[in-house]
Amino acid sequence: MTAAFQDVPPASPDEALPRRFGKYTLLRRMATGGMAEIFLSLQRSVAGFEKLIVIKRILPAMNQDRGFIDMLLHEARVAASLSHPNIVQTIDVGQVDGTYFIALEHIHGEDLRSIVRQMKKKGVTEFPLEHALAIVLGMCAGLSYAHEKRDLDGTPLGIVHRDISPQNVLVGFAGDVKIVDFGVAKSGSQTAEQTKSGQLKGKVPYMSPEQARGEDVDWRCDVFAAGVMLFELTTGKRLFKGSTEFETLKLIVDRDYPRPSWVAGGYPPALETIVMRALEKDKERRYQSAREMQADLEAFVRDARLPVSSIALAEFMKGLFEEKLAAQKEALMQGRQLADIIAQEIVHSEHTVNTSVDSGRFSSHNLSTNSGAVATGSVPPPGRTAKWPFIAVPLIAVAAAAAVFVLRKSDTAAPAQSKEEPAAQKASLTVKSEPAGAHIWINGEVRAELTPATIENLPIGTVDVKVGKEGYASKTDKVELTAGPAVARNFTLLKGVLKLQVDGAPANATATLDGKPVTLPTIEAAPGEPHTLVLSAPGYAPKTLKVTGELGETKKLDATLDKAAAGGAVVAKPGTAKEPPTTQPGGSGKLMVSAGGGWCNVSVDGKPQGVTPTGAIEVSAGAHSISCTNADGKTVSQGAKVNAGETTRVKFSL
């Protein structure tokens, strides 16, 4: 739904829970908003069948709003057509007592926003790369299925989610990844009025540029949102975070985007290429499908030998939410017991002459404080004259059942006192640069402002300030902030780039640098950063070059391409023979690298091997150099000797 949901207190006496709702039992109100409310519910049927589900019920005030009801039913129609492991399943849609509802699959897990908050509480400072990629891969799989979905006649449904964001991606305690909430989804079956441009739908920090401008959107806006989430999960930093929604929209539409390696040291170049392609402002240069992005991510996982696993993701989740899982299990048992009581109440009532139960309602005037004793008595509901058998249960049981299962929280639910900080505890910083118009990072987080700018409400103490501009070498400084007048810092950025002189390429060759098209033969690149140059030409096999260089340096690169025969095979150059792969006379062994006190990116003999703990890396027998680079960019190295047929383990202390 487009409404923002927030936590609510236990149900008020006018609707005590649990209670019957048609063929379902509402156990616990999970969240509510201005248009609808969400309940954890129980579905029961014959032969002991029972299943936890989620009921999304329209609020009474909105029940006469035909436009909103149409939107709710559209959500149900779109979602009901989707059946995929990475999309929450729609089970039912209907009316009870004139109130519309949607029944959804219940996911025992947490949304990404809640996961990040729990990580902070537990002191987990980095999202493990393999888990971040597992989540984004699941998102891409679900999105590609929805985008490519067709009706029974084979006509594309044209489904676009339009609200891919941390709140709408759930990770289950079994390691599953699910996309939820097609409440703002666009499909080809909608009318022009329902999808007209100019209406912003979705969460601003995850909107594509065309979405932020209010233009017509297609599936590529979901790809952009997936790119934003990939950036944030793998760097630990927000990508678009202005002081207002308007400032955030300007960041998306008008500004250049920072590269992941600018905010996270040791960021894998191949993964950065994927991120930046997903974040292309021009949707024609972006990934043209979620499946294409998924394929590149899977290739990166294979090449980096990352231990991406749903089992490992499940263990990570259980470790984060151990205490909450125990509380949920206990409260679920209480909720089921109360549901049993309701079921007995209905059975008894159905066998009482001239007696009926109003929609299975289990309200506060049905409750007694007789310590849960089973009793019957003449306590008729208003307007009834017959005796009404009832089961008395302690009020504390209802309170306990309503005290848990908080699965989704909004940004507005933070305690009010957290916003009230003394003015004396805030500082200001004025940042200028020559030339002006440079990006500003505070403690690794890119700001909405460009130089010159004065940034307010910063914390007292030492902060890392970075200033960077395209075509100039970036500069970083530590600044001590104090209360009072704004602290000023001036940065002089050195004009200069790394120049790549590409020689030997065919006349019709094209090239991309870090996923962006560039013009040959001379290319300008940012100094001090790893780059990937891909050269291609019709009739030739593509060539990939990895390059780094310093400010003002000119590097000459051999761009000679090998011709490709029919079917894509590479044709050897005249006068040369294809050399057989070299083998080491000593055979090969395996190397496994781990780290204590954190994680790091591992390289063996200068070749990236992914993050710790690595799987078994096959290497030639003999001496090897292993380096370990942590999130702060600090690198430690050591040597290791690998014997043929054996596994050597190396552990770094961070």
pLDDT tens column, 349-362: 444 434 333 433 33
Quick: pLDDT tens for 160-170.
Answer: 988 899 999 99
Name the residue among 608, 613, 620, 607 with its Cα closest to residue 593: 613
Task: Say if CB 498 and CB 555 are below 8 A apart.
Answer: yes
> Which position among 163, 181, 222, 296 bears the catalytic label?
163
In the chain, the percentage of residues whose pLDDT exceeds 90 is 22
Name the residue among 432, 531, 426, 422 with its Cα closest to residue 485: 426
| Beta carbons within 10 angstroms of residue 6's beta carbon | 14
Compute the mean pLDDT over every residue in the chain, rounded to the nearest whole number: 75
Distance (Å, whole) CA 227 – CA 140: 10
Distance (Å, whole) CA 105 – CA 417: 36
CATH 1.10.1740 fits 424-489, yes or no: no
Distance (Å, whole) CA 133 – CA 179: 15
Question: What amino acid occupies position 358?
Answer: D
Q: Is the pLDDT of residue 487 over 80?
A: yes
With bands split at pLDDT 50, 70 and 90, how would you rate the model's confidence at 629? Answer: confident
- Tokens matching residue 255: 């500004």
> What does pTM read for this prediction?
0.54
- Tokens matching residue 501: 């002189």
Q: Is the pLDDT of residue 229 over 90?
A: yes
- Tokens matching residue 297: 């991510």
- Tokens matching residue 49: 């069948």
Quick: pLDDT tens for 521-543.
Answer: 888 777 766 777 888 887 777 78
Cross-strand pairs, 608: 603
State the DSSP H helix or E strand holding residue 69, giving kind and residue range, or none if neither: helix 66-80
* 282 is an active site residue: no
349 CB-near residues (< 8 Å, 6+ apart): 355, 356, 357, 388, 389
- Tokens matching residue 379: 């306590």
For the chain, the straight-line distance linking the first and the last C-alpha, in angstroms and rounded, comes to 44
Q: Which class is domain 588-653?
A: mainly beta
Of 179-193, 312-326, 395-409, the poorest mean pLDDT is in 395-409
Secondary-structure breakdown of the chain: helix, strand, coil percentages, each rounded to the nearest 5: 30, 30, 45
Distance (Å, whole) CA 171 – CA 111: 6
Of 41-45, 214-218, 382-386, the poorest mean pLDDT is in 382-386
Residue 26 Cα to chain centre, angstroms: 29
Predicted local confidence at residue 144, as pLDDT: 93
Predicted local confidence at residue 631, as pLDDT: 65
Q: Which class is domain 109-320?
A: mainly alpha
Q: In this structure, what DSSP letter does residue 179 have?
A: E
- Tokens matching residue 117: 């908050």
Phi, psi of 382 (to 5 degrees): -55, 135
Once rounded to an integer, what is the mean pLDDT over residues 94-108? 87
Predicted local confidence at residue 345, as pLDDT: 52
Once rounded to an integer, what is the mean pLDDT over residues 343-371? 39
Whole-Å CA distances, 292 to 281, 458, 515, 628: 17, 41, 14, 31
Predicted local confidence at residue 59, as pLDDT: 83
Phi, psi of 637 (to 5 degrees): -135, 155
- Tokens matching residue 452: 């010159």
525 CB-near residues (< 8 Å, 6+ apart): 497, 498, 499, 500, 513, 531, 547, 549
Q: What residues does each domain of the chain span?
A: 109-320, 322-401, 424-489, 498-568, 588-653
Question: What amino acid occupies position 543?
Answer: K
Highest-confidence segment of 74-78, 160-164, 448-452: 160-164
Q: Is the pLDDT of residue 306 over 70?
A: yes
Question: What amino acid occupies position 640?
Answer: A
Distance (Å, whole) CA 355 – CA 343: 16
In the sheet with 607-611, reading across from the earlier edge strand, the strands are: 607-611, 601-604, 622-629, 635-642
Q: Is the pLDDT of residue 550 over 50?
A: yes
Collapsing DSSP to helix, strand or coil, 128 comes out as coil
Domains 498-568 and 588-653 share a fold: yes
Collapsing DSSP to helix, strand or coil, 445 comes out as strand
Cross-strand pairs, 380: none
Quick: pLDDT tens for 11-47.
Answer: 444 567 788 888 888 888 888 777 778 888 888 776 6
Of 80-89, 172-181, 319-328, 629-638, the poorest mean pLDDT is in 629-638
Fold for 498-568, please state it. Answer: Immunoglobulin-like (2.60.40)
372 vs 157, higher pLDDT:
157
Q: Within 13 A of 274's CA, how many CA atoms are on the CB side?
A: 28
- Tokens matching residue 74: 């559209």
- Tokens matching residue 105: 């699959």
Quick: pLDDT tens for 249-304.
Answer: 989 998 889 899 888 888 999 999 999 999 999 999 999 999 999 999 999 999 98
Name the residue among 296, 298, 272 with its Cα closest to residue 134: 298
Name the residue among 583, 591, 585, 584 with its Cα closest to residue 642: 591
- Tokens matching residue 153: 């006649």
